[in-house]
């Protein structure tokens, strides 16, 4: 149960791998979610009932039931109906306002959307992962970019809120193709986006490629650099980035072979994004300034000092900056450096 930004209270119910006809080369859903089996319907009812008594539940302006971890629209009609029927009384009694689901873009059909609309589903997240056809084919996603574009527009046309999930560092994905994908995602005007780094997990096909030297995961610096850039692009256009990085779960950490995993990946990425914005805004006022400088309000001191100044180091390295110094000036922290 989680209370998110903008006073949204979301209760996640996990249906790991259910409904998905594919197994992508990087996927190990049970490790990523920490849920090894689908939650029984009775247990889901108990989770929702307990949520009603949670702190902040009634003060939230928006309360949602979320089916995560599987491919909701890939379920057979009976299983889908059972899940929605279980949630129905909680909606009709006013405890929750609507439902959100996650699914694959190629498993979106007009008839299904009509059914979901009647069942109080408001938000549909699609696991796009990449807009590059070569990347999608390599990862065994089973669809192409055109499919994503068509289904995303259909979701919005039918009155749902659209969410997009993207991954950074997939096989065959280059920095420029990832950036192009971010721009395509922006053109679809989703309500929100999630960003995930590609991690090599034991027992996946990606692990086999990694062992053979056919796949090199991004470094932590590379992954955070790309995610921070994407955060700036989305947020500057009014598109919320509601998650960056994988959940910090023991089940996940035990399965990691390689890749840019960090317990605070999202926080580091957002901090680097804040530094980028501050640098760019400062440059507008004095582009010839020497030394270069970044000014951050004291209230955001963690951006500079947090995690042993890791975000600051990544930011400066991405810029190609040399020596730096940090000074407190009034109600700001100023970082001065040479390029």
In this structure, are 295 and 258 located in the same domain? no
Domain annotation covers residue 279: no
**pLDDT tens-digit map of 122-180:** 999 999 999 999 999 999 999 999 999 999 999 999 999 999 999 999 999 999 999 99
Domain annotation covers residue 280: no
**pLDDT tens-digit map of 280-330:** 886 544 545 556 889 999 999 999 999 999 999 999 999 888 889 999 988
Q: In this predicted structure, what is the pLDDT of residue 39?
A: 79
The three-state secondary structure class of 18 is coil
Residues 129, 168 contacting (CB under 8 angstroms): no
In this structure, are 295 and 241 located in the same domain? no
In this structure, are 314 and 223 located in the same domain? no
- Number of separate domains in the chain: 2
In this structure, are 69 and 159 located in the same domain? yes
Q: In this predicted structure, what is the pLDDT of residue 5?
A: 44
Listing from the earlier edge strand, what are the strands of the sheet with 324-329? 292-297, 332-337, 324-329
Tell me what the mean pLDDT of segment 108-127 comes to: 95
- Tell me the residue range of the domain where 315 lies: 286-337
| Cα 112 → chain centroid | 25
Strand partners of residue 122: none
Could you give the CA distance from residue 59 to residue 7 in angstroms, rounded to a whole number? 8
Q: Which two tokens stand for residue 51?
A: 């949520």
- List of residues 6+ apart from 309 with CB closer than 8 A: none
Q: In this predicted structure, what is the pLDDT of residue 248?
A: 76
Q: Which two tokens stand for residue 89?
A: 């009384």
Could you give the CA distance from residue 186 to residue 51 in angstroms, rounded to a whole number? 34
Backbone angles phi, psi at 323, to 5 degrees: -65, 150
Domain annotation covers residue 281: no
Q: Strands (DSSP E) along the chain, which ranges?
A: 2-4, 8-14, 62-68, 98-103, 121-129, 161-168, 192-197, 200-201, 240-244, 256-258, 292-297, 324-329, 332-337
**pLDDT tens-digit map of 200-231:** 999 999 999 999 999 999 999 999 999 999 99
Domain annotation covers residue 275: no
In this structure, are 322 and 246 located in the same domain? no
Of the listed ranges 14-18, 115-119, 256-260, the least confidently predicted one is 14-18
Q: In this predicted structure, what is the pLDDT of residue 174?
A: 96
Q: Given CA atoms 333, 237, 59, 116 in this order, what sign does their dihedral have?
A: negative
Q: In this predicted structure, what is the pLDDT of residue 18?
A: 63
Domain annotation covers residue 156: yes
Q: Which of 240, 222, 229 is nearest to 276 (CA)?
A: 229
93: CATH = 3.20.20.70
In this structure, are 323 and 187 located in the same domain? no
In this structure, are 153 and 291 located in the same domain? no
Render 206-274 in DSSP notation, one character per residue. Answer: HHHHHHTT---PPPHHHHHHHHHHHHHHHHTTT-EEEEES----HHHHTTEEES---TTHHHHHHHHHH
Share above pLDDT 70 across residues of the chain, in percent, rounded to a whole number = 90
Last residue of a domain, one of 263, 294, 317: 263
Q: Which residues of 98-115 are buried (b: 16+ CB within 10 A; e: fewer)?
A: bbbbbbbbbbbeeebbeb
Q: In this predicted structure, what is the pLDDT of residue 254?
A: 86
Domain annotation covers residue 278: no
Q: In this predicted structure, what is the pLDDT of residue 29?
A: 60
Unique residue bearing structure tokens 């979106």: 108
């Amino acid at each position: 149960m989680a209370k998110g930004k903008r006073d949204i209270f979301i209760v996640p119910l996990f249906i790991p791998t259910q409904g998905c006809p594919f197994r992508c080369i990087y996927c190990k859903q049970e490790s990523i979610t920490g849920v090894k089996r689908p939650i029984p319907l009775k247990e889901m009812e108990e989770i929702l009932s307990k949520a009603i008594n949670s702190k902040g539940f009634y003060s939230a302006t928006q309360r949602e039931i979320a089916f995560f971890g599987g491919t909701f629209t890939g379920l057979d009609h009976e299983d889908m109906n059972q899940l929605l029927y279980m949630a129905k009384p909680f909606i009709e009694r006013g405890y929750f306002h609507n439902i959100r689901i996650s699914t694959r873009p190629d498993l979106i059909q007009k008839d299904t959307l009509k059914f979901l609309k009647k069942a109080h589903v408001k938000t549909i997240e699609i696991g796009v992962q990449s807009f590059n056809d070569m990347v999608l084919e390599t990862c065994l996603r089973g669809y192409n970019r055109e499919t994503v574009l068509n289904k995303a527009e259909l979701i919005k046309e039918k009155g749902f809120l659209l969410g997009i999930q993207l991954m950074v560092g997939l096989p065959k994905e280059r920095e420029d193709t990832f950036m192009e994908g971010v721009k395509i995602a922006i053109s679809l005007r989703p309500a929100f986006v999630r960003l995930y780094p590609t991690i090599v997990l034991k027992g996946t096909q990606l692990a086999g490629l990694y062992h053979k030297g056919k796949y090199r995961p991004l470094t932590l610096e590379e992954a955070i650099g790309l995610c921070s850039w994407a955060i700036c692009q989305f947020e500057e256009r009014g598109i919320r980035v509601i998650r960056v990085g994988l959940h910090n779960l023991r089940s996940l950490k035990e399965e990691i072979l390689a890749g840019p995993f960090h317990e605070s990946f999202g926080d580091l990425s957002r901090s680097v994004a804040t530094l980028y914005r501050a640098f760019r805004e400062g440059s507008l006022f004095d582009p010839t300034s020497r030394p270069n400088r970044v000014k951050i309000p004291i209230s955001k001191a963690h951006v500079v000092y947090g995690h042993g100044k890791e975000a600051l180091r990544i930011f400066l390295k991405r810029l190609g900056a040399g020596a730096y110094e940090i000074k407190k000036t009034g109600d700001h922290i100023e970082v001065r450096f040479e390029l």
